[in-house]
Chain A
Amino acid sequence: MDEISEATEPKLANDGGPATINVAGSTPELVPDHTTDDLKIVMGEFEGPLDLLLHLIRQEQVSIYDIPVARITDQYLRYLHLMQELDIAVAGDFLVMAATLIELKTRMLLPRDPFAAAEEEEDPRKDLVDQLLEYQKYKAAAQMLWSRAVVERAVFKRAEIETDKNNPEVVVGVFDLFKVFQEILARHKEEVLLEIEREEISMAEMLETLRNMVMSSGEVNLRTFFERARSRRELVLAFLSVLELVRTTQITLIQQETFGDILARVSS
């Protein structure tokens, strides 16, 4: 029964754990951080500029039908500032709303046209208010859906009967087909990569190769040796082999002219 009464509370994110983020907005509070001595600001998480605006309207305790634009705009901009200072990425939609609010604020400041009839003038806030009211309805509807889902999750259907699997009808949509195709493409790509890895040479093999090359022909041009590498990995191994064989004094490196080719010869 507890879970069902919880359904009326708009806490969707962390259930149980320390709720530092409350979904659907909450007044930001300063809380002590237990790990450091700083004070943390806990900000609500907003689903978009409309959500933030609704929260501000509620926080400022003003009527949605008579929004004090200047005040709300200032609050809104302060929030954006705060988010940016805290290095929280601000989505473009928030900025669009900021621009909208600023424009609205200036429009409200302009003196009314003295020649226009008083009733004809439309409240410049009307569009925004309409949008807010509309959004609010769907926000509440989303809450209702969530409650229903909670109850539904508490309801179980019977376990499988063997005839269930015999049902060959699969409802497939275009997006399913597309997803399958994507998966096949991805798998294909992966498979190709695997093949290349199997042919990769090991460090020991590379050492052996270099040693044999130097032994059999007496000297090896390092440039030609490095050019044999088929991948970056092999190049690195080749270089390391050269260093290793030099270190163990099995070969010596000779350069006959400045910036000339480097040759590897068997150490005498």
Chain B
Amino acid sequence: MNEAATSKEREASEIEEVDDLASSVEESLAETDHEEIDARPYALQSESERKAVVEALIYVSDEPLSAKSIAEVLKDDQETIEAAVVSLAEEFNRRAGGLQLREVAGGWQFATRPEYHEHVRAFLKSRPSAKLSLASLETLAVIAYKQPITVPEILDIRGVQSPSSIKTLLDKKLIVAKGRKETVGRPMMYGTSKEFLIQFGLKDLSELPSIEDFQDLAGNVV
């Protein structure tokens, strides 16, 4: 009977908590109705509140979110935000949970850890997406390292024509046209896109290992 009484009390206090929260949300919503959202500064009370807000923003963003964008929205200093994100990432990733907070394509993003991909895939009932052919991968590698580059220049390196590779890469939005080269024929030049960074998990192009690192000593097999 005493148990029943306390659990009823707990329920009542929970309901009250939600009520209070609802009122405060409604209040702040009501305020924003009357003011220009852009002009309103967000007064962040503390370091931990800043990190919490940054975390929430990164979560709802459907694309990798840069510190710059966050700073703009919060009308905060970019360096402060950057420090906050880095600190947040360290804390978050130290947790060694199923999620990671990582930097990709110039922004920050939450994603599952690769170790658990099988379970996630089973849950999502998703099949692995179509993989790129070796020809397309080679073409992509050449473009990634030598951008902007024209098709004849790619041919010189690969020694073989592959017009379907270019088309495939364009279709998958991994490469984009980057203007024309001012030489005879004004051929189109290509470079990699943001989607490329995302699909290959790169922060930015500098994260690619130097091409000289691939100077394979397997040239000398004997």
Contacts and interface: CB of A to CB of B under 8 A. Distances in A.
Interface of A: 1, 3-4, 12, 23-24, 47-51, 57-58, 61-65, 91-93, 97, 131-146, 148-149, 151-158, 160-161, 163-164, 167, 173-175
B220 A63 contact: yes
B122 to A, nearest CB: 12
B52 to A, nearest CB: 18
A1 B128 contact: no
B222 to A, nearest CB: 6
Given A144-B214, A155-B113, A161-B60, A138 B157 contact: yes
B16 to A, nearest CB: 29
A135 B128 contact: no
A23 B134 CA distance: 8
Interface stretch (B6-14, B37-45, B104-112): B104-112
Nearest to A174: B177
Nearest to A1: B115
A156 B176 contact: no
Interface stretch (B19-27, B28-36, B72-80, B136-144): B136-144
B137 A145 contact: yes
Contacts of B135: 47
A141 B221 contact: no
Contact of A138 (B62, B133, B142, B170): B142
Nearest to B159: A50
A156 B115 CA distance: 11
Interface string B170-191: 1001001100000000000000
7 contacts: A47-B134, A92-B161, A131-B157, A136-B214, A144-B214, A145-B200, A153-B117
Contacts, number: 146
Nearest to B102: A155
Contacts of A1: 115
Given A149-B132, A154-B117, A155-B117, A167 B201 contact: no
Interface of B: 59-60, 62, 109-115, 117, 120, 124, 128-129, 131-135, 137-138, 140-142, 144-145, 156-161, 170, 173, 176-177, 199-202, 209, 211-212, 214-216, 218-222
A137 B158 CA distance: 10
Interface of A is mostly: helix
Contacts of B109: 157
Contact of A47 (B62, B156, B160, B200): B160
A142 B220 contact: no
Contact of A173 (B137, B145, B176, B200): B176
Nearest to B143: A138
A97 B155 CA distance: 13
B92 to A, nearest CB: 14
B200 A161 contact: no
Contacts of B161: 91-93
Contact of A156 (B117, B177, B199): B117
A111 B151 CA distance: 38
B61 to A, nearest CB: 9
Contacts of B173: 173
